[in-house]
Structure 1
Amino acid sequence: MRKILLIGMGPGGADFLTMQAIEALDRARVFFLPDKGAEKAELREVREQICRRYITQPDARFVTVDIPQRDAAADDYRATVDDWHARIAARYRQILIDELPEDGCGAFLVWGDPTLYDSSLRILDRLRADGLPIDYEIIPGISAVQALAARHRIALNRIGESVVITTGRKLGAARRVADDTVVMLDGDETFAKIDPTGLDIYWGAYLGMKDEILIAGRLADVASAIQRARREARESKGWIMDAYLLRRADGDV
């Protein structure tokens, strides 16, 4: 049976890989590298750099997987994502059959952690449900959430309190921002559209990479600076990965 390793690679810096992830790299013989087009070529290049740094097996092979684009403008978000996953699964099915022997071990390097806002696990489950005989193993990675808190030198939770992890889409629909809210996948810059009263923000982009950007402060004071930095970085690099923590300031809880 084909074995797939979903290896959490952390938020982009090669030093974020765990020892378990490094050891897993040498267990696989075929590495499937997602290709999202020229605009996001650096995402593939970072994976390649990690492989070159840590893989010692001379017979490792690399296979590029073209990833179809999702219709970002569609009205039915869940149906659009389901269709997108189905198209990716079809690509994965064919390439696994063509490139990985039936008793082979392959790997996908997953940005951050495979269990937090990533589709790879769901797509493999879809393939298994559709009858493709594969097994998989998850190697956890350091998530952007952990890296964000570490780089800002803050704790994610306050004493005895909970933390909400959500998306920009959900944040925009919330009636009230929870006291400690981590926000991911906020391409619409929702942080600049909500009521900033009593909120601090700890924002970071390209965490752990050479182009890392960090901004923190009262949301009302720094929202425009974050927007400006975010847009300039995305225009320069062609892509951006960022996350932030919204925290209701002491006395405003």
Structure 2
Amino acid sequence: MTDLWLIGIGTGSPGHITLEGQAALRDAAAILVPHKGAGKEELADLRHAILAASGSTAVVLPFDYPVRDPALPYLERVEAWHDEIARRWQDALTKAGVTGPVALLVWGDPSLYDSTIRIARRLSPAPQLRVVPGITAIQALTAAHAIPLNTVNGPVTITTGRRLRDEGWPEGSDTIVVMLDGETSFTGLDLTHLHIWWGAYLGSPDQILVQGPARDVAQEIIDTRAAARERHGWIMDTYLLQRIEAG
């Protein structure tokens, strides 16, 4: 393998793939598709549906996605996890003996929410990377709620649930977007003057949206998220929090 193409697929809707992304899927010789275990088959099925919609005839190379070791400290855990993902990519490609460009379908966008670029740099020999952007999870969220991302001349911080829990509201920001939050960490903030726009399965037929004053809808989001995760076996959600004037 000399070329590895990372193709943003939005939040799972075939409509989130750009024309450039569709062309790349058709031109790729092979596609790496992760399988994330029992109860999460739908994630692989969505990737296969996107490939079918694009008209791709590439060879599909499945690989089992590893899980993180909870016994390790967080950063060490992530590093070891990324090493193992890269190893499994390499094994799948070596066994298949593919020649020609290999593609990966990246949820959200290669620039956000994901470490695919970092993992790709672990491969040996290092491939020539091509990144094809798609709709980001943030774009899908703000579009679904029909809102702008920022206030007039206001800064925006993109952060994770872990950092929100550990550090609280980021200083100097009017608006924050939180990703990778399995614990609805906004509930640890003072919600008095916060408005939240939350969404899950964005852009799909299963899309769920909740918005309102954070203290009024916090429990609704917690309950809705838990029920949806139980029903599907997985959930990908994002939310935007914004300070509102007292009044």
Q: Does the alignment reach a TM-score above 0.5?
A: yes
Residue 105 of structure 1 deviates from its aligned partner by 1.0
Change (3 A) 1:179 1:99: same
Matching of residues 1-253 of structure 1 within 5 Å: 2-57=2-57, 60-71=58-69, 73-74=70-71, 76-101=73-98, 103-127=99-123, 131-177=124-170, 178-251=173-246
Give the distance between the partners of 1:192 and 1:4, measured in 2 at CA: 40
* Aligned residues of 1:197 and 1:220 also touching (Cα < 8 A): yes
Give the distance between the partners of 2:154 and 2:71, measured in 1 at CA: 37
What is the identity percentage for the equivalent residue pairs of Structure 1 and Structure 2?
Answer: 44
* Aligned residues of 2:199 and 2:208 also touching (Cα < 8 A): yes
**Residue deviations 1:186-225 (CA, integer Å, cap 9, x gap):** 0011022221120000000000011100000000000000
* Aligned residues of 2:29 and 2:101 also touching (Cα < 8 A): yes
1:238 maps to a residue whose letter is G
Residue 184 of structure 1 deviates from its aligned partner by 0.4
Unaligned 5+ runs, structure 2:
none
Change (3 A) 1:161 1:50: same
* Aligned residues of 1:100 and 1:106 also touching (Cα < 8 A): no
Give the distance between the partners of 2:236 and 2:21, measured in 1 at CA: 21
Give the distance between the partners of 2:49 and 2:60, measured in 1 at CA: 12
**Residue deviations 1:47-82 (CA, integer Å, cap 9, x gap):** 00010111254xx211101111112x3461100000
SS at match of 1:224: helix
SS at match of 1:26: helix
* Aligned residues of 2:32 and 2:89 also touching (Cα < 8 A): no
Change (3 A) 1:54 1:175: closer
* Aligned residues of 1:5 and 1:139 also touching (Cα < 8 A): yes
**Residue deviations 1:85-142 (CA, integer Å, cap 9, x gap):** 11111111222222243x4111110101011121211111111xxx314212000111
**With structure 2 as the length reference, what TM-score do the two structures score?**
0.95
1:78 maps to a residue whose letter is L
Unaligned 5+ runs, structure 1:
none
SS at match of 2:103: strand
2:197 maps to a residue whose letter is Y
Change (3 A) 1:12 1:19: same
Deviates more, 1:112-121 or 1:218-227: 112-121
Change (3 A) 1:209 1:182: same
Change (3 A) 1:188 1:74: farther
**With structure 1 as the length reference, what TM-score do the two structures score?**
0.92
* Aligned residues of 1:206 and 1:241 also touching (Cα < 8 A): yes
SS at match of 2:225: helix
